Amino acid sequence: MKDGFIRVACATPKIKVADCAHNAKAIISQAKEAAASGASLIVFPELCITGYTCSDLFLQRSLLVSAEKALAEIIEETKELESVILVGLPVRANSALYNCAAVLCKGEILGLVPKKHIPNYSEFYEIRHFTPFSIALEKTICSQTVSIDADTIFSCTSMPEFRFGVEICEDLWTPEPPSGKLAKSSALIIANLSASDEVIGKADYRRMLVKSTSARLLSAYVYTSAGLGESTTDLVFSGHNLICENGALLAESKRFTTGITYADIDLQKLEHERARANTFEGENDLYFTEFDLDVKELELNRYISKTPFVPESKINLDERCEEILTIQATGLSTRIEHTNAKSVVIGLSGGLDSTLALIVAVHAMDMLGRDRKDIIAVTMPCFGTTKRTKSNAEILAESYGVSFQDIDISKAVTQHFEDIGQNPQNFDVTFENGQARERTQVLMDIANKTGGFVIGTGDLSELALGWATYNGDHMSMYAVNASIPKTLVRHLTAFEADHTEGQLKAALLDILDTPVSPELLPPKDGEIAQKTEDLVGPYELHDFFLYYFVRFGFTADKIYRMAKIAFKGVYDNETIKKWLKTFIRRFFQQQFKRSCLPDGPKVGTVTLSPRGDWRMPSDASSAVFQLSEE
Ordered domains of the chain (ranges, CATH)? 2-291 (3.60.110.10), 314-625 (3.40.50.620)
**Edge-to-edge strand list for the sheet holding 343-347:** 403-406, 375-379, 343-347, 452-456, 478-479
pLDDT digits (tens, 9 = 90+) for 338-355: 999 999 999 999 999 999
Distances (CA, A) of 227 to 15, 171, 240, 260: 8, 19, 8, 12
> How many Å apart are CA 53 and CA 44, to the nearest integer?
16
CA distance 603 to 327: 7
Residue 519 is predicted with a pLDDT of: 65
**What is the per-residue pLDDT for 520?**
63
Query: Pairing state of beta strands 220-225 and 189-194?
Result: parallel
What confidence score (pLDDT) does residue 337 get? 97
- Rounded CA separation 107/78 (Å): 7
Q: Which of 567, 569, 580 is nearest to 630 (CA)?
A: 580
pLDDT in tens, 384-429: 888 888 899 999 999 999 999 999 999 999 999 999 999 999 999 9
For β-strands 287-291 and 152-156, DSSP reports them as parallel
Tens-place pLDDT, residues 417-450: 999 999 999 999 999 999 999 999 999 999 999 9
Q: Catalogue the active-site residues.
A: 46, 115, 169
Find the helix or strand (DSSP H, E) in which 104 lies. Answer: strand 96-105
- With residue 21 as reference, give the H or E element that holds it: helix 20-36
> 134-151: buried (b, 16+ CB within 10 Å) or exposed (e) per residue?
eeebebebbeeebbbbbb
Q: How many CB atoms lie within 10 A of CB 273?
A: 19
- Flag the least confident range among 56-60, 252-256, 274-278: 274-278
pTM of the model: 0.90
Kind plus residue range of the DSSP H or E element containing 249:
strand 248-252
Mean pLDDT over all residues of the chain?
Answer: 94
CA 96, CA 470: separation in Å to the nearest integer? 73
- Model confidence pLDDT, tens digit, residues 521-570: 777 766 665 567 778 899 999 999 999 999 999 999 999 999 999 999 99
Distance CA 525, CA 381 (A): 17
> Cα separation of 485 and 607, whole Å?
9
Residue 58: DSSP 8-state: G
